[in-house]
Amino acid sequence: MKEIDTITSIALSFLIILSTAFLSVNNREIEAKTISISKGMSLNSVINLLHENNLIVNKNVLKAKILIRGLASKVPTGTFLIEGKVSDAILIDSIFNKGPIKLKLTIPEGTSAKKIFESINLLLKTDHRFDNLFTEKNILNKYNISGSSLEGYLYPNTYFFFNDTSPADIVDTLVSQFWIEFDQKLLNRANELGLSVHEVVTLASIIEGEAMLDSERSTISSVYHNRLKINMKLQADPTIQYIIEGPPKTLSTRDLRIKSPYNTYQNYGLPPGPINNPGIQSIKAALYPLETDYLFFVAQGDGSHKFTTNERDHEAAKRVYKINKRKNK
């Protein structure tokens, strides 16, 4: 009799788990996560890994669903992308059916759109022309971009894609990530400063082009904010580098005279748009400048800058830099 009761209890428990497995949906909104399953990992180990990453609610329920589908002995290996609205069924499909991701795209902060598009073509082994994606008005409107191109809005990060991902899908992912990062708090701050998102991103791109040290971003930002307040030309070297074809170089007097709306040595105010795609630290620096009286800065050769409030001290700092540069040759 006890044996029958035990069997009945086990059967009831299994039926409860089974019914829960069928009825439970557990839809969860997940930011993009990657899960790596190593060769030889057991089903229990995979389920524990998913639980540790907060991708599942109930380990027993997920296991029951996998057993029902006959997938327990088919644990795959590789890196898997999990994102968006995720239920247990979608999770199982992502791992057991879609398979591992094959493509990884890393975009450093400050990368130009041109370089990003080159990287996408290299990744996909295509020769796609991005002209329409880059500047077409309806594309820009779709992404709520007031500028004339996607420059500045292709958010730098590491992304993972499947082999059949299209160039348009990759661009969509990058721009969507930008708007995730540029959240309501930052939008409110931009409004407080009387700046549009486009102006913030443009300034952030210049800061990104100048800053070598994170600790200096807000100070560099303060210089540009101070200059804008008194209608002083920004004289930002990265804007000239953006105009010039080829790799970065030491700028000449001739370079500073190039006729271009992006030349901040010749024109007042911000350039027409971003000169690269800045990261969140530069965006925040543009929105939260340090309170200073600085109007000038000069590189010191070690990644840092000497900040000054007047032209006389600035010229002195430049002379010191040149002397030290000669000494170190």
10-residue stretch averages of pLDDT, the chain, 329 residues long: 52 50 56 80 89 84 88 83 78 82 92 94 88 80 92 96 87 95 98 98 98 97 98 97 86 94 98 98 98 96 94 93 78
Q: How far is CA 64 from the centre of its chain?
A: 37
Hey, is 103 helix, strand or coil? Answer: strand
Give the start-to-end residue ranges of the domains of the chain. Answer: 2-98, 103-181, 194-294
Q: May I ask the CATH architecture of the domain 2-98?
A: 2-Layer Sandwich (3.30)
pLDDT value, residue 329: 67
Q: Which of 32, 181, 38, 30 is nearest to 105 (CA)?
A: 32
In the chain, the largest separation of any two C-alpha atoms, in whole Å, equals 100
Q: Of 38, 72, 33, nearest to 54 (Cα)?
A: 33
What percentage of the chain's residues is helix, strand, coil (to nearest 5)? 50, 10, 40
Residues linked to residue 161 through DSSP beta bridges, in sequence order: 103
Spatial CA neighbour of 174 closest among 196, 146, 145, 148: 145
pLDDT of residue 135: 77
The three-class DSSP label of residue 87 is coil
User: Do 107 and 157 contact (CB within 8 A), yes or no?
Assistant: yes
Coil, strand or helix: which one is 11?
A: helix
- Can you tell me the distance from the alpha carbon of 220 to that of 206, in angstroms, rounded to the nearest whole number? 9
**pLDDT score at 10:** 52
- DSSP, collapsed to helix, strand or coil, labels residue 236 as coil
